[in-house]
Structure 1
Amino acid sequence: MSDSPLPPLREVIARHGLSASKALGQNFLFDAQLLDRIAAIPGDLTDRAVLEIGPGPGGLTRALLRAGARVTAIEMDRRCLPALAELEAAFPGRLQVVEGDALRIDHAALVGEPFAVVANLPYNVGTALFTRWLSGEQWPPRWTSLTLMFQQEVAQRVVAPAGSNAYGRLAVLAQWRSTARLALKVHRSAFTPPPKVMSAIVHVEPAAMPSGVSARVLERLTEAAFGQRRKMLRQSVKALPGALDALASLGIDPQRRAETLSVEEFVAIARALSSGRP
């Protein structure tokens, strides 16, 4: 069913007395053409399972349903549930709304099948959710792609190349076994209310996981290296057992700083540490 019989989103918001909550990091999108462009980024969604986090009154949800997706939406703002219930009724069997905190829910168990994530993430939980999806030893993950709206500064950190000012732990986690690209920039004026910063959409797809590398080891390595990014590696990673020996065996100068190491070099160090034989 098309959402054409549905009232305009602005009307729904007015009728339910909704306003964007700063505490929940909400900013609403009304532009249907822009929302359709976002829903198109993961490719054909016909009959595909999609997980949406923080749908709010359902602007992006409508676009995903228009694209043919079967949507599971997690929303913790009870004010938005009546508006989302109207969408559930308009698209029977195509939308499941779950009230709760997305950080506390097992997404794979909830959806029950491989799923794409498409979300205008609330700014206050976006990075935490993203790093959670990128973490863990199980690979490939249950998600088939991540199409996520971030503040532009965060989005640039995800796709940053080594040596750039934006390069850091987030870039390594996003790129060591995934491909990440900046898919779309979104002007602040597209939102209601307009945020103080520009936004951008990142699209991530799983890639082959390098052999012999523990994800937990790599996470600990990048956390140590970038936790003290102004320091040389010999200082920032010395607390990790075997790290300095690994640098020596790989010919990596311990006087370098973390932001100068490529993703491949981080993977090589993590492989040495994972094997226990640097």
Structure 2
Amino acid sequence: MLTLPPLRDVIARHGLNAKKSLGQNFLFDGNLLDRIARVPGPLTGATVYEVGPGPGGLTRALLRAGARVIAVERDSRALPALAELAEAAGNGSNGPRLTVIAGDAMAVDAATVAGNGAHIVANLPYNIGTALLTGWLGAEAWPPWWASLTLMFQKEVAQRLVAVPGSSAYGRLSVLAQWRTSARIAFTVPPRAFIPAPKVDSAVVHLVPTAPMAAASAARLSALTAAAFGQRRKMLRASLKAMPGALDAMVAQGISAEARAETVPVAAFASAAALLA
């Protein structure tokens, strides 16, 4: 790439103050951004799908790592800055190294625009991060179109993804993530790293698709966990009462009807969901 102006200068020139309504918190530390870009592994020649690039800090790091980036941004204020970055990045063997899509990531068909085998890397806007994640995890087809997920979340959300049964963080998101991915927290990020500084710590999570623990329907598992954790302090015989066959399916896994959802292993949830026709 051509020499780029400092990110702070780009933000000032384009008036890109972070908007709370868009869940924006910008990262300026180039070393930290490069560290995020290294989490998926070597990206030379790989396609990366990025959500909410804002002024393009993480985008720069991904381009430095050798990736071809497809970025979706709904904030029209950021588009001129990203256009400048795309021009500086130039073309690779497969066309533009940076393609910017103006739009809402919740409405974009990511699989179509990014293609099979793309890595998803993003400092997700906090207001849509969990919704996007559950959408990527909840596809019926598996393995998914994406090769890995490297995502920035509030630390509390990250801890839910990797939590074990019996812990206070263990819940529906833990089951959905661990059923058919290997999830780990790569590292944590303090509030002072962001502008503006959020009130909580953040964490970068890395998820890689694995073989499912049981051949369950994603929709069925989602419904089962929603019912079980919807009233997490209640015993399963009460929380699953409205879902026909669910309690019997759990008991068939050796789980007591008096157990609470927060103590049930991921594999038991998956196997129970597979029994529900």
Task: Name the TM tier (shorter chain).
Answer: over 0.9
1:97 has 2:100 as partner: yes
**Backbone CA RMSD of aligned residues:** 1.0
Contact preservation (8 Å) 2:25, 2:198? yes
Amino acid paired to 2:9: E
Shift of 1:269: 0.9
8 A Cα contact 1:49 1:113, kept in partner: no
- The answer to whether the Cα contact below 8 Å between 1:53 and 1:102 also exists between their aligned partners in 2 is yes
Q: What is aligned with 2:80?
A: 82
- Displacement of 1:245 in angstroms is 2.0
Corresponding residue to 1:176 among 167, 175, 179: 179
Within 2, Cα distance between the matches of 1:107 and 1:195?
A: 28
Task: Within 5 Å, give how 1:236-247 maps onto structure 2.
Answer: 236-247=239-250
Check whether the contact 2:63–2:97 (CA below 8 A) recurs between aligned residues. Answer: yes
User: Is the 1:29–1:35 Cα contact (8 Å) retained in structure 2?
Assistant: yes
SS in 2 for 1:18: coil
Q: Helix, strand or coil: the match of 2:249? A: helix
Alignment-derived partner of residue 186 in structure 1: 189
Q: Deviations over 1:57-112 (max 9, x none)?
A: 00000000000000000000000001000001001210000010101111001113
2:116 is matched with: 113
**3-state secondary structure, aligned to 1:97:** strand
| 1:39 aligns to 2:37 (yes or no) | yes
Q: SS in structure 1 opposite 2:274?
A: helix
Does residue 230 of structure 2 align to residue 227 of structure 1? yes
Aligned partners of 2:13 and 2:251: how far apart in 1? 65
After the TM superposition, which residues 148-163 of structure 1 pair with which residues of structure 2 at under 5 Å, given as runs? 148-163=151-166
Aligned to 1:63: 61
Q: Name the residue aligned to 2:217.
A: 214
TM-score (ref. length: structure 2): 0.96
Q: CA deviation at 1:210?
A: 3.5
Q: How many residues are paired up?
A: 272
**Secondary structure, aligned partner of 2:22:** coil
* Paired residue secondary structure (1:180): strand
Correspondence 1:270 to 2:273: yes
> Match for residue 93 of structure 2?
none
Q: Does structure 1 retain, via aligned residues, the 8 Å contact 2:129–2:153?
A: yes
TM-score, length-scaled by structure 1: 0.96
Q: Distance in 1 between matches of 2:236 and 2:77?
A: 49
For residue 136 of structure 1, report the CA deviation from its aligned partner. 1.8
Distance (Å, rounded) in 2 between the aligned partners of 1:212 and 1:19: 46
> Of 20, 24, 38, which residue of structure 1 is paired with 2:22?
24
How far is 1:240 from its partner?
1.4
Q: Percent same amino acid among aligned pairs?
A: 63
Letter in 1 for 2:103: G
Other structure's SS at 1:240 match = coil
Q: Deviations over 1:211-270 (max 9, x none)?
A: 431111111100110111111101111211111222333332111100000101111211
CA distance in 1, matches of 2:250, 2:137: 25
SS in 2 for 1:6: coil
Q: Cα deviations across residues 179-225 of structure 1 (Å, max 9, x unaligned)?
A: 00000100100001111111001000000124431111111100110
Cα distance in 2, alignment partners of residues 247 and 154 from structure 1 = 26
Q: What stretches of structure 1 move > 4 A for 4+ residues in a row?
A: none
C-alpha distance in structure 2 between counterparts of 1:134 and 1:39, whole Å: 21
Cα deviation code 1:2-52 (max 9, x no counterpart):
x5x110000111111110001001001000000000000000000100000
> Which residues of structure 1 form unaligned runs of 5+?
none
For 2:163 and 2:235, the matched residues in 1 are separated by: 20
Whether the 8 Å CA contact 1:71–1:95 is kept in 2: the answer is: yes
The counterpart of 1:10, out of the listed 8, 11, 20, is 8
CA distance in structure 1 between the aligned counterparts of 2:151 and 2:261, rounded to whole angstroms: 26
Range moving further from structure 2, 163-172 or 229-238: 229-238
